[in-house]
Amino acid sequence: MSIFKKNKSVENNQSGIKKNNNTSPEDEQLIDQQEIVEAIGNYQNKKLYNTVSENIEFIKRLIGESWDLSTREVVLVNEQQKIKIGIVFFAGLADQTFVSETILETLSNNFKKTNEKIKPENSLIHFKNNLLTMAGVEEADDFGKLLNLLLNGDTILLIDDIQSCLVIGSRKMFERAVSAPETNVTVKGSKDSFNENLLTNISLIRRRVRNPNLWAISYIIGKNSNTNVVMMYIKGLAEDKLVKEVESRIKKIETDSIVTINYMKYFLREKQFSIFPLIYDTERPDDASACLFEGKVLVLIDGSPYILVAPNFFINSMVSMDDFHNPSYAATFFRTIRLIAFYLSILLPGIYLAIIMYHSELFPIFFLFSVAGQRVDVPFPAFVEVLIMSLAFDFLRESGARMPSALGSTLSFVGAIIIGQAAVQAGLISAIIVIVISITGVAGLIIADYDLNIAVTVLRYVFIILGGLFGLFGMVLGIIVLLTHLVSLRSFGVAYFAPFAPFKAAGLKDTFFRAPIGKLFKTKKSITEKYPE
């Protein structure tokens, strides 16, 4: 029998629908369905029923009679009394061995040893404090909290004549092993990376940041997905203004689901549009821990092997964790190389087009004759040549990224060389174009930040168009607009291009020039002291 027929007063109070004796069976069935929809629609704040059977039936209706939902009603017996309890859990999310051998056996054995009669009003406290010996037991009195914890893998313990329940932590951990990073690869850095398990990721950070002031605040985002999101920061190092801003943006998120890390990036984004990554993501625990020590805030999402870091700065994309394993002069040299690679990857094809099409007098005469000789039999103008080769290189790079790692790198480089050589021999393009695009492509691969690499790729085509249509004038104008845009960007209220614009000397110790380790961490400064707003 339906619980909605058993408890008439509850039904009528919730739905306002009343039955009379003249109602036909068809109308009565329709009214029952309306009551069910009304009750289920308000389940978030709906209090539990008074009996185990009613609660289990309502849970089944909420879940939709799911085959992986396990329910069991058990009667505990001792010399003094009998108490009916119910166990509810998802077979795939909860550890069934723990439920059977620890929860049920512990309850049964401890209840048999109880010599006094348990009063109904005290049964919940007695079960929690005396009969259940495991950690992670909490109370719930509404179906909203109950369902959320149930879907996280916890086990629900229902007790007859009690309109509350106990939630017992029984989550089964499904995760791949902690492995080496795949994107932010280093030579001397640590060889562990985040995985898809939120608790594992938090523990990887706590292993490195053994500080009682490391706070981890949890949120549940997504009306349908109920995704666990955690904000982490070091109290006292992270500025309150930054923490409140990140927290405010998280609380304002209204969405049905959070599927990937990019969903979270979108909701935390700045109002100002930019192709540059104003939120940084990393899969490296050592990188994330270093960001915490700088006073930044981390955002972790259950199911994602990447975490978000706020705020982000342009200089972060030029920094590798290897820099902190090398002497300061080596770190400074390699950071300078990365900066040169950044501008080469964006500007080189456009500069080549601007000079070859509009300002050929800038070339030495012998070099100009060499280029002109190569282009004698080429059927395409230089602008089309550059576009074709740039697109071909990006096609190969993208296909290589989608292939198994053992084949991907081979396809990208060897494929580009073979196609370029074949195109030159066929007279479709000139050899100088292959050299220019190859240098551009290799320079782009030096940039380790994937999101910045996407921005670089887009900007490269923008400058190809500017150089091809307007020459060096278009290139200079594009550079001015680009730098103006970079200077105007803000990441969570802090200048993205800091400490260069606005200039702040305190932040220069760890930019393109990296000071010795002893001086780098000699004094503690907040983010706004190093990177002004």
In order, the DSSP letters of 486-531 are HHH-EETTEETTTTBTTB-GGGTTBSSSB--HHHHTSS---HHHHS
Helix (H, G, I), strand (E, B) or coil at 322: helix
Cβ pair 30, 128 in contact under 8 A: no
- Looking up tokens 């003249």 gives 22
465 vs 145: CA distance, rounded Å? 56
For range 196-202, the mean pLDDT: 90
Span of 162-176, 360-374, 439-453 with lowest mean pLDDT: 360-374
pLDDT at 409 over 80: no
pLDDT interval class at 427 (50, 70, 90) = confident
In DSSP notation, 412-479 reads HHHHHHHHHHHHHHTTSS-HHHHHHHHHHHHHHHH---HHHHHHHHHHHHHHHHHHHHHHHHHHHHHH
pLDDT interval class at 506 (50, 70, 90) = low
pLDDT at 527 over 70: no
Neighbouring C-beta atoms of residue 127, cutoff 10 Å: 23
pLDDT at 92 over 60: yes
pLDDT value, residue 80: 82
pLDDT value, residue 18: 40
Element (H, E) at 138: strand 137-140
Residue 324 DSSP symbol: G
128 vs 131: CA distance, rounded Å? 6
Summarised one tens digit per residue, pLDDT across range 311-340 is: 999 988 888 888 888 888 888 899 999 999
For range 295-303, the mean pLDDT: 93
275 vs 452: CA distance, rounded Å? 8
pLDDT value, residue 130: 86
pLDDT value, residue 24: 52
Comparing 185 with 472, the larger pLDDT belongs to 472
For range 473-482, the mean pLDDT: 96
pLDDT value, residue 19: 43
Neighbouring C-beta atoms of residue 65, cutoff 10 Å: 8
**Is the bond preceding 502 in cis, omega lying within 30 degrees of 0?**
yes
Neighbouring C-beta atoms of residue 32, cutoff 10 Å: 16
pLDDT interval class at 533 (50, 70, 90) = low
Instruction: Say if residue 434 is exposed, middle or buried (CB neighbours under 10 Å; 0-12, 13-18, 19+).
Output: buried
pLDDT value, residue 88: 94
Looking at every residue in the chain, the average pLDDT score rounds to: 83
pLDDT value, residue 36: 47
CA 393 to chain centre: 29
Q: Indicate the pairing of strand 214-221 with strand 227-234.
A: antiparallel
pLDDT value, residue 29: 46
Percent of the residues in the chain that have a pLDDT greater than 70, as a whole number: 85
Cβ pair 452, 317 in contact under 8 A: yes
pLDDT at 466 over 50: yes
Q: Write the single-letter amino acid at 518.
A: G
Comparing 378 with 85, the larger pLDDT belongs to 85
Q: What are the helix (H) ranges across 227-327?
A: 240-251, 261-268, 285-293
Most confident of 231-235, 331-335, 394-398: 231-235
116 vs 114: CA distance, rounded Å? 6
Q: Of the candidates 226, 197, 207, 229, which has an alpha carbon nearest to the alpha carbon of residue 216?
A: 229
- Looking up tokens 């060897």 gives 414
Phi, psi of 265 (to 5 degrees): -60, -40
Q: Write the single-letter amino acid at 331.
A: A
SS3 of 148-172: HHHHCCCEEEEECCCCCEEEECCEC
pLDDT interval class at 432 (50, 70, 90) = confident
pLDDT at 351 over 80: yes
Span of 248-262, 309-323, 397-411 with lowest mean pLDDT: 397-411
Most confident of 12-16, 30-34, 206-210: 206-210
36 vs 31: CA distance, rounded Å? 9
In terms of phi and psi (left: phi > 0; alpha: psi -120 to 50; beta: otherwise), the region of 23 is beta
pLDDT at 204 over 70: yes
Comparing 190 with 533, the larger pLDDT belongs to 190
Q: Indicate the pairing of strand 137-140 with strand 165-168.
A: antiparallel
Percent of the residues in the chain that have a pLDDT greater than 90, as a whole number: 33
First to last CA, the chain: 65
Q: Of the candidates 184, 523, 494, 524, which has an alpha carbon nearest to the alpha carbon of residue 313?
A: 494
507 vs 512: CA distance, rounded Å? 11
